[in-house]
Structure 1
Amino acid sequence: MLKANDDAPKLTLHGDDGKVHEVGGAPGTVIVYFYPKDDTPGCTTEAKEFSVAASRFAEAGAVVYGVSKDSVASHCKFRDKYGLSVRLLSDPDLSAHTAFGAYGEKTMYGKKVMGTIRSTFVLRDGKVARVFPKVKVAGHVDAVLAALAELAQGGGAKQAAKAPRGAKQAAKAPAAKKRRAEE
């Protein structure tokens, strides 16, 4: 998998808008998120959340691309069914997945299989600025927006760390305890 400060692979992929899009070598800020399959529960939630936040990404000067191995026709049906505004790109030969390191062995239902590793890359002027490996959908879009805000304030490129299990709940516990004590 690519790491922060790596050069982004320069690839072109077909989009659900009928155009060919440059990924990796494009100037500016580009968010590339890899997801396994159109119209499945986690992928639908992720695409909807990126779509809902489209104006916030635009305000941050970022273009967002969702990439899967599904066909352009599948992307169009997926987009239309859910009213998605995020641009969906087709990677049927897995060339982008492979170049970014978003395809490999993973565990599904206790079995090792080859497939898409749900991951997101924040690219700036052709370089990898942030990597979100093995993404969990819940809260992910907000984490990407926070990374953009940090980068805008001069934060350097880095690998996004996975929060330890239960970290969010543990962080909230002292505040909740304090509120109860004040009541």
Structure 2
Amino acid sequence: MKLAVGDPAPAFDLPTAGGGRVSLDDLRGAPAVIWFYPAANTTLCTTQACDLRDNHQMFVDAGYRVVGISPDPVPELDRFVSEQDLPYTLASDESHEAMTAYGAWGEKNMYGKLVQGTIRSTFAIDAEGTLTLVKYRVGTPKHIELLRTKLSL
């Protein structure tokens, strides 16, 4: 299932690095950027995470919360946050329920093979929980520029 701008953001409630939880309800009242990525501490995901880290103040200044979601277990997210000094929330979706609801889990081509996995995707949500940006198959090198342009940051 693919989502579109104007759709309500699917609800989720996930454990986070540091021992907390984050849900769609927690994000209400302010805009948010949610990005789904395949695996902590891998080359492209680390590049994407560090680009978001290095530009985090731009999101904060515009009132956005940033939440990264991957299928990694919480201890791996804790290590990722610590090693990369990430200032935003990382959540664990080991069951793939949130990823499936957002259309960020499914069939993809990896090195010529079709596999089930995380589809690198980014969503922006307004304060009321409506999607204002939907981007599937995000290109890591252009991620920040995409967000800067589409969100007028």
In the TM superposition, 1:30-179 aligns within 5 A as 30-124=32-126, 125-149=128-152
- Matching residue's letter, 2:23: E
- Deviations 1:65-84 (CA, angstroms, capped at 9, x unpaired): 01001011100001111112
How far the C-alpha of 1:13 sits from its partner, in A, is 1.1
Q: Which residue identity does 1:133 align to in structure 2?
A: Y
- CA-CA distance at 1:142 after TM superposition: 2.1
Q: 1:27, CA displacement in angstroms?
A: 2.5
1:13 aligns with 2:9: no
Q: Which has the larger radius of gyration?
A: 1
Code of the aligned partner of 1:119? S
Please tell me whether residue 3 in structure 1 is matched to residue 4 in structure 2. Answer: yes
Cα distance in 2 for residues equivalent to 1:97 and 1:7:
15
In 2, the alpha carbon distance for the partners of 1:119 and 1:53 equals: 18
Letter in 1 for 2:49: A
Q: Determine if contact 1:60/1:148 at 8 Å carries over to the other structure.
A: no
**CA–CA distance in structure 2, aligned partners of residues 27 and 99 of structure 1:** 21
| Distance across 2 between alignment mates of 1:17 and 1:29 | 22
| TM-score, length-scaled by structure 2 | 0.93
Higher mean alpha-carbon deviation, 100-109 vs 75-84, is at 75-84
Structure 2 runs not aligned, ≥5 long: none
Gapped runs of 5+ residues in structure 1? Answer: 151-183
Q: State the alpha-carbon separation in 1 of the partners of residues 96 and 28 from structure 2.
A: 20
The C-alpha deviation readout for 1:34-83, integer Å capped at 9, x for no partner, is 00001000000000011111110001110000100101110000111111
Q: Deviations over 1:137-183 (max 9, x none)?
A: 00211211222217xxxxxxxxxxxxxxxxxxxxxxxxxxxxxxxxx
CA distance in 1, matches of 2:83, 2:13: 25
Q: Name the amino acid aligned to 1:75.
A: L
Taking every aligned residue pair, what percent have the same amino acid on both sides?
35
AA of the residue aligned to 1:46:
Q
RMSD value over aligned CA atoms?
1.3
